[in-house]
Amino acid sequence: MAIGKRQWTRTHMCGALRAQHADADVVLFGWVARRRDLGQIIFVDLRDREGIVQVVIDPASVGDELMEQAKTLRGEFVVSIRGRVRTRPEGTRNDGIETGDVEVSATDFEILNEAAVPPFVIVDDVDASEDLRLRYRYLDLRRTRLQRMLMLRHQVARLARNHLSDAGFLEIETPVLTKSTPEGARDYLVPSRVSPGSFYALPQSPQLFKQLLMVAGYDRYFQIVKCFRDEDLRADRQPEFTQIDIETSFLSRDDLFVHIEGMMAAIFREVKGVELPLPFERMSYREAMDRFGSDKPDRRFGLELRDLTADFANSEFRVFRGVLDAGGTIRGICAPVGSYSRKQMDDLAAHVQVFGAQGLFWGKLDGGAWTGGSSKFLSEAEGRAMIETLGAKDGDAFLIVAGKPKVAFDALGALRLKLGRDLNLIDDAKNDLFWVVDFPLLEWSEEDGRFYAMHHPFTSPRDEDIALMETDPGKVLANAYDLVWNGCELGGGSIRIHRRDVQALMFKTLGIGEEEAREKFGFLLDALAFGTPPHGGLAFGFDRLIMLLAGTTNIRDVIAFPKTARASCLMTASPSVVPNSALEDLGIRVLRTT
């Protein structure tokens, strides 16, 4: 379509021009990123989503009338420019932009729209608060850095779609208004006007629907889908987020892994220029916790955990003795922090206390003997045993946490990551992708005195463990798996329960009675009676994947219109109060506003 009074049609994107375009006549559209008036000549940096190119406006080419108009140009004016591409004069090349070899000599231009002075300068190293930038997100999105991230998002979505489609997967949409079911976080609820007192829920995931698609015979499904969870937010979480959701029938876990690994390999090949070694390594949940204190371990550096429980089995140290008598564990790591001051060691102790540890027991190896800190509580035999278990050498320090297994793992796993960063041990150039498998099916809650599903109540136990469901459910392992990249969980899933008797056994173990199960999951239970195939799948956190590929630590950078940490949109001022008439139509009365 021809644009403006001059009825021009764009020939090139600003950021696409290179030396091979020299002497070409072009028409460009974009925003004025910068204007430099040198009196007789005006330089304009013209920006579009592909980048910036320098435009030269001089009276010899455009005439005096247009030259006067050029003096009125300001930042963010929208203009069209006709001109000729030329190689920049010797010594004037700009290595800071991809179009730095060339410039456009304007022969004509048109101001398509003027712009108010923006509330912040639109540059990548912007000096403005995030709240202000989110308030004017449509301006913030003009920054090259964010444009590149959203283009990366499109690129990865395309690669995923192409790979899965070529493998015979069908993209099928599932409902956004659905039934509220317990999935681990609070639902966002939507009142129904036509059914007063009843509510839809926005889906936390398409879990039940994708399983029903398997029952319906659509044996390879995927969807890039919006999901919603009303939960506390962090830098890598949003109340509405996107998943690459996948489900298959008649494929084993290993068969499914082949498809996922191929998709990830294609993404890394095109986006990062990296060939991933296939197949990905697999690590059991138990090994991951024992060695790294985490079910999504960062394996790019050492400082692995060691089990010191046996070394202190006969300890007379009161704290250790109490932990062991209560069935707890003693774990430790050895780190090259023997030169740390007492204050630095106290800071490490404060770090583990955040995760529930009573304290950090530490000492330093000097001349073959442990000194300082908690070393005075060790017998000579315990010290020798610990040196051997930790593989310690002079200059190292031992860092020990004693307590319940979860506390010890959480505390030392977090301490290990802190030390890895503080000591610059992490190889940022490495891409370590691997599967964590064989998770526990259930978690025991001391507070509630009952089991909970570690993933969700439709996760299948391993076939060989089904007999343990009634006799020793805490030992049952799930046919579940997570994909981890450099210490971050990219996605997770499981083989699902497809037999009614096993699903009923799962509900019984979770303390969900027949009436409650019927009320919450009746439609799924009914479906299981009609020839449900063996099936399973997984979901990727799409936003998190893009965040990691883009090399940013803030998930809001890779979402076009994100929410704040308080789940609000500063640009649209939502959530917002609605008129009482709208609430009356829904039969709703607001009881509190804070």
For the chain, what percentages of helix, strand and coil (3-state, to nearest 5) are there? 35, 25, 40
pLDDT digits (tens, 9 = 90+) for 373-409: 888 888 888 888 988 999 999 889 999 999 999 999 9
pLDDT reported for residue 447: 83
* pLDDT at residue 473, as a whole number: 92
Distant-in-sequence, close-in-space partners of 395: CB < 8 Å, separation ≥ 6: 336, 338, 339, 364, 365, 366
Contact between 311 and 385 (Cβ < 8 Å):
yes
pLDDT at 304 over 60: yes
**Residue 561 clears pLDDT 80, i.e. is over it:** yes
Cis peptide leading into residue 279 (ω within 30°): yes
- Coil, helix or strand at residue 36: strand
Is pLDDT at 315 greater than 70 in this prediction?
A: yes
Q: Where are the alpha helices (DSSP H) in 498-588?
A: 500-509, 514-527, 542-550, 580-586
What's the CA gap between 513 and 497, in Å, rounded?
18
Sign of CA dihedral 59, 61, 65, 71: negative
Give backbone dihedrals phi and psi of 333, rounded to 5 degrees, phi first: -130, 155
Determine what percent of the chain is predicted with pLDDT higher than 70. Answer: 98
CA proximity to 496, closest of 524, 471, 468: 524
pLDDT at residue 3 greater than cutoff 90:
no
- The yes-or-no verdict on residue 323 having pLDDT over 70 is yes
Residue 521 has pLDDT above 90, yes or no: no
What amino acid is encoded at 83 in this protein?
A: G
Rounded Cα distance, 311 and 334, in Å: 15
Give how far Cα 389 sits from Cα of 176, 292, 516, Å: 53, 15, 50
| Mean local confidence (pLDDT), 505-515 | 89
Q: How far apart are CA 536 and CA 252, in angstroms?
A: 8
Burial of 380 (0-12, 13-18, 19+ CB in 10 A): exposed
Q: Considering the entire predicted model, what is its pTM?
A: 0.92
Q: What is the maximum alpha-carbon separation in the chain?
A: 95
pLDDT(183) > 60: no
- Identify the pLDDT of residue 444: 87
pLDDT of residue 514: 85
| Position 182 confidence tier, pLDDT thresholds 50, 70, 90 | low
Q: Give strand ranges (E) for 194-302.
A: 199-202, 220-228, 240-249, 281-284
Confidence check: pLDDT of 533 > 70: yes
Query: What is the structure's pLDDT at 1?
Result: 65
Average pLDDT value for residue range 111-124: 96
pLDDT at 210: 95
| pLDDT confidence bin for 181, thresholds 50/70/90 | confident
- Pairing state between β 329-335 and 397-403: antiparallel
Query: Residue 275: what pLDDT?
Result: 97
Give the pLDDT band (50/70/90) at residue 594.
low
Report the distance separating Cα 434 and Cα 291, nearest Å.
15
Read off the pLDDT of residues 198-212 as tens digits, 9 standing for 90 and up.
Answer: 999 999 999 989 999
* Single-letter code of the amino acid located at 130: E
pLDDT of 268: 98
How does residue 331 score in pLDDT terms, banded at 50, 70 and 90? very high
Q: Write down the mean pLDDT value for the chain.
A: 93
What digits encode the pLDDT tens for the residues 63-92? 999 999 999 999 999 999 999 999 998 889
Of residues 219 and 339, more confidence is placed in 219
pLDDT for 234 beyond 80: no
* Distances, alpha carbon 100 to alpha carbons 95, 105, 163, 454, in Å: 6, 14, 36, 54
Question: pLDDT per residue over 408-449, tens digit each?
Answer: 999 999 999 999 999 999 999 999 999 999 999 999 888 888
> Is the CB of residue 391 less than 8 Å from the CB of residue 365?
no
- Asked if residues 104 and 83 have their Cβ atoms less than 8 Å apart, the reply is yes
* pLDDT band, very low/low/confident/very high, at 110 (cuts 50, 70, 90): very high
pLDDT of residue 446: 82
pLDDT tens digits, one per residue of 20-63: 999 999 999 999 999 999 988 999 999 999 999 999 999 999 99
Is the pLDDT reported for residue 592 higher than 80?
A: no
